[in-house]
Structure 1
């Protein structure tokens, strides 16, 4: 694993350095977290020959100093696009979890030439769902995740800062209500929407709705996984992504 900071964004790289003709994948974390919970998936994808980059979004964890306050999805997307261009990655497959899906939807809508494919894992937050209910869904999901995820997430939340996490949650709720679905309608690249079968945050109906809203969407479900399906079932998730990036049916 190689670590570096570009354009204020800390990132981890797994596999060979980016090069022409090689598949690149960027993994985008959820609210208040870091890229650390993507490491098991990143290692499996890199083992298949992909170059995998895992950034901490501006304002989060080791990129906390890159933003003075919580940024909305579009500003996060623009910052990620700037980082992407600095690294000269070329068209890339984006894989996002939870609120990270709002960021990648904005990125695909605003900077379409940077994105080749899009994978959304447990897209959140669902428009029209009150904040208290969203929090209740998150609390209900926690016992369904691997125990090892709890201290990892707690450490990231503390590193990001609880006040920053709360502000980011309010901003994400506003994005969900005002721009998320609009950005989804502008996503033109093939999109795979994945849900852990036990996910209490991203419902099956919402996942199907996301897939219908983008221009070329399809769905998949991973048995025995919950909201962080990429963490609890990295082998199954890697297999889905590898098949999807090769252009075969999901």
Structure 2
């Protein structure tokens, strides 16, 4: 694993360096977190031969100093686009979790040339669910995740700062109520929507809704996993990403 500041903010790199003609896998973390909880998945993808980049989004964790305040979803997507250009990446396989899915959708909608395939794992937030209920569901999810993830998340939240986390949550709620579904409707690349079987934040109906909004949507469920399926079941997620990347357009749902 290579740890460095790339393209303007902190990035973890796994596997071989990005190569021309070979899609790089980019993993986008959720609200207030860092890319650390993607490390198990990144290692497995790299072992399969993929080039994997895992940035800490500006304002978060080790990229906290890259933003003077908590960026909103659109600002995160813009920063990710600048990072993409500076690194000279071609169309990437973009894999996101939770609120990171909103950032990924904003990037794919605004810069379709940058994203070749999209994986939305545990996509939040569902605009039909009130904010207080979203918080309650997050608490409900906590005991379903590995204890190591809980410790990692708390550490990241403290580094990012609780006030910034709260501001990012407000930004995410506004995006969910306004731009998120509109961005999904502008996505025309193959998109895989992944739900952990025991994820209380992402209902099967919301999964179907997202899949219906994108132009080429498919679904998958990870047995025994909750909201952070990429962390608790990295082997299953790596297999899903590999098979999805290998499938042609219009492959099986």
TM-score of the superposition, structure 2-length normalised?
0.97
Matched, 1:127 2:127: yes
Query: The residue matched to 1:82 in structure 2 has which SS?
Result: helix
Matched with 1:232 is 232
1:109-145 deviation digits (Å, cap 9, x = unpaired): 0011000000000000001321100000100000000
1:12-44 deviation digits (Å, cap 9, x = unpaired): 000011111223100000000000000000000
Number of residue pairs aligned between Structure 1 and Structure 2:
250
1:70 is displaced (CA, Å) by 1.4
Matched with 1:157 is 157
1:206 is displaced (CA, Å) by 0.2
Matched with 1:204 is 204
Matched with 1:101 is 101
Q: Distance in 2 between matches of 1:50 and 1:58?
A: 24
Contact kept, 8 Å, 2:7 with 2:87, in 1: the verdict is no
Contact kept, 8 Å, 2:3 with 2:12, in 1: the verdict is yes
Query: The residue matched to 2:230 in structure 1 has which SS?
Result: helix
Consecutive unaligned residues in structure 2, runs of 5 or more: none
Consecutive unaligned residues in structure 1, runs of 5 or more: none
1:41-71 deviation digits (Å, cap 9, x = unpaired): 0000000110000000011000111111111
Matched, 1:173 2:173: yes
TM-score of the superposition, structure 1-length normalised?
0.98
Q: Distance in 1 between matches of 2:104 and 2:192?
A: 13
Q: Distance in 2 between matches of 1:6 and 1:14?
A: 13
Matched with 1:82 is 82
Q: Distance in 1 between matches of 2:70 and 2:178?
A: 17
- Residue pairs, 1:128-147, within 5 angstroms: 128-147=128-147
Matched with 2:61 is 61
RMSD: 0.9
Give every structure 1 segment of 4 or more consecutive aligned residues whose post-TM-superposition deviation is greater than 6 Å.
Answer: none
